[in-house]
Amino acid sequence: MRSSSFANIISGSLLALVNISVAVSVAALLFAQTDPRLMVPGIAILLMGTLVTGLGGSLFSDHKAVICSPRNGLVPVFAVMVSSIYISFDSQYSIAAEATIIAAIMVTTVVVGLFLLLLGRLKLGNLVRYIPYPVTGGFFAGIGYVFIQGGLTVAGSEQPSLEAVSNSDFIQLVTPAVTLALCLIMGKMFKDTALSVPAILFAAMLIFYAVLFLNGISLDEAAANGLLPAIESTGSLIPVFNWDYVQEIRWMTILEQTGGIVVVALLCSVMLLLDVSGIELIARKDLNPDHELQVMGYTNVVNGALGWLPWCPRCLGHGVGRDAGWQG
């Protein structure tokens, strides 16, 4: 009993650290082409969305061990949306630009929530049963590719390409990230225990800051060199949306993003149903996809009202928890 509880605590702590890291990384990807001052509301959107959806999924899902976290598959669509809105303001930071970007995220998340609710109410969740396993496997493989590309982009501060590979600065920045990834893979291959993944992550962080200390590199210098996020604060994390922003919003600019909003709603519904199917395989337990659609629908409506991004359960997060040793 004690070992089971200890494993659950360890895996929960690991998943919390992973989700925080992913949230900050996704914020960096979303606002990479905008002003650094947008990083603060960006990080708040990701972190608080993780909290709200995590609670909603755990409390109301049929499977209490469900993990909800940022969907990297949605990042490219949101990045285009954020960048296009920012460009419409002549690529200059302003309260109106920040208000419009946040309002676009809120509208998108509410639309996603309502769409998921509609699918659940109409009992269309079982459509996932007709998706062939090769398609499901290809989907998860594609998500893995997005993870790799996103990780290299965050580590190297630019999109991985043949041109980037020839850049010594890019190679210098991504080498530690690739090394850590290889250590995690080798750790699972040769010593796959409940503590292997968190121990490697913790050791990597200690080594990183030890190297900074031994070389006399300050945190500000590390951020300037692309080793840490460069965050320029413009206020507190909460609330993300100030009601004084309403008069600054350009609603026509948001209306121009209708295509992207529809794509996000469709992608989120497909990802949710595929991940529900994946969780069933891992947990060896049947879930009611219509119920999961409604749970995530209500949760995303709340998320949208508060200013967060759309979320849904992650098969990958559930798998990580299992690998870390949780019992559930």
Higher pLDDT pick, 315 / 41? 41
Query: Is the pLDDT at 322 greater than 60, yes or no?
Result: no
Arithmetic mean of pLDDT over the chain: 77
Give 190's strand partners: none
Question: Hunting for tokens 């650290």 — which residue is that?
Answer: 17
Domain positions in the chain are 2-324
What are the residues whose beta carbons fall under 8 Å from the beta carbon of 118, sequence distance 6 or more?
297
- pLDDT one-digit tens code per residue, 81-121: 888 898 899 888 888 998 899 899 889 999 999 999 999 99
Most confident of the following: 62-76, 91-105, 125-139, 200-214: 91-105
Confidence of residue 191 (pLDDT cuts 50, 70, 90): low
Instruction: Look at residue 198 in the predicted model and tell me its pLDDT.
Output: 67
Instruction: Look at residue 283 in the predicted model and tell me its pLDDT.
Output: 65
DSSP one-letter code for 244: G
Give 69's strand partners: 312
Confidence of residue 122 (pLDDT cuts 50, 70, 90): very high
Higher pLDDT pick, 130 / 263? 263
| Measured distance CA(126)–CA(130) in Å, rounded | 8
- CA separation (Å) from 10 to 16, 193, 313, 325, 326? 10, 11, 20, 8, 8
Instruction: Look at residue 35 in the predicted model and tell me its pLDDT.
Output: 78
Query: Is the pLDDT at 315 greater than 50, yes or no?
Result: no
By percentage, how much of the chain surpasses pLDDT 70? 75
pTM of the model: 0.71
- pLDDT one-digit tens code per residue, 268-288: 888 888 777 777 766 677 778
Instruction: Look at residue 137 in the predicted model and tell me its pLDDT.
Output: 73
| Measured distance CA(301)–CA(82) in Å, rounded | 20
